[in-house]
């Protein structure tokens, strides 16, 4: 389904919620789950999710393919021009979804049973009954992060609802529940999904259906991708990015939860 053109985008916050992603980026295509190595997840002082360089830690998320129009929409929704978020390109470990699950995001949330039905169909058609294929390193994946706002904070009330909706979708698509329980739940309390959520500026409608039960293997924190796999330019860029955070004295992004 995905074409040769377009940008791979790594989502780790409220854009884990397929309904929100379909509304914000109507041309987006779901690609699979992924791991961003040497970063950790936080809620910053603005009340939104952020990722901060942290050696040996990993952030789990979903990867979508987006076109130029969708990228412009993300720039606006994430406040790139105002400095709320910045755009960087990082390597991720991608677990590609089975081909029939790599579908336009809108088709996965067409109705309340859209995601559940797509998962059941993909699992049934897979030879091994799995939702994904062999993992691989993917270069230069777009990540939005907030280097100006890296102090810990409390999430905004409306944001809690959206992240919880994203957690339900993400776990249905294979992200280990333990990641959310051990990392995200320190900042995002669990809530039952509301029947209807409206968010000004995002045009959100109904929440995606409660995720079907998915059997996961025992969770083990993956090792960071070997550094020799990146180019010298990539490694210099990562070191410079990490140094920027260290100099501001906020290396421990898990504090102030």
* Per-position DSSP letters for 99-153, written without gaps between them: GGGS-BHHHHTSSTTHHHHHHHHHHHHSTTS-SB---EEEEEEEEEE-TT--SB-
Nearest one of 99, 202, 185, 86 to 144, comparing CA atoms? 86
CA distances from residue 51 to 11, 59, 136, 148, 204 in whole angstroms, order as listed: 11, 8, 21, 12, 24
Tell me if 11 is assigned to a ligand binding site: yes
**51 vs 38: CA distance, rounded Å:** 10
Tell me if 180 is assigned to a ligand binding site: no
Tell me if 10 is assigned to a ligand binding site: yes
Tell me if 97 is assigned to a ligand binding site: no
Tell me if 64 is assigned to a ligand binding site: no
Tell me if 9 is assigned to a ligand binding site: yes
Nearest one of 118, 202, 128 to 165, comparing CA atoms? 202
Q: Report the binding-site residues.
A: 9-14
Binding residues for substrate: 9-14
């Amino acid at each position: 389904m995905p074409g040769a053109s377009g940008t791979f985008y790594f989502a780790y916050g409220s854009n884990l919620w397929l309904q929100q992603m379909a509304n914000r980026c109507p041309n987006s295509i779901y690609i699979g789950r992924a791991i961003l190595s040497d970063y950790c997840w936080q809620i910053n002082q603005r009340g939104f999710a952020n990722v901060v360089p942290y050696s040996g830690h990993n952030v789990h998320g979903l990867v979508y393919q987006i076109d130029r129009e969708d990228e412009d929409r993300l720039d606006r929704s994430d406040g790139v021009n105002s400095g709320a978020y910045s755009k960087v390109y990082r390597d991720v470990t991608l677990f590609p979804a089975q081909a029939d699950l790599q579908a336009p995001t809108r088709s996965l949330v067409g109705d309340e049973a859209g995601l559940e039905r797509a998962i059941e169909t993909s699992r049934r058609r897979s030879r091994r009954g799995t939702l994904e294929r062999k993992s691989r390193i993917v270069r230069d994946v777009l990540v939005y992060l907030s280097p100006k706002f890296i102090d810990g904070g409390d999430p905004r009330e409306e944001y809690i609802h959206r992240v919880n909706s994203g957690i339900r979708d993400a776990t249905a698509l294979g992200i280990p529940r333990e990641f959310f329980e051990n990392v995200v739940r320190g900042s995002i309390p669990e809530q039952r999904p509301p029947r209807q959520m409206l968010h000004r500026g995002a045009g959100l409608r109904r929440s995606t259906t409660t995720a079907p039960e998915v059997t996961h293997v025992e969770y083990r924190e993956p090792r960071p991708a070997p550094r020799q796999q990146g180019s010298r330019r990539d490694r210099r860029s990562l070191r410079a990015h990490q140094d920027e955070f260290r100099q501001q004295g906020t290396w421990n992004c898990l504090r102030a939860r």
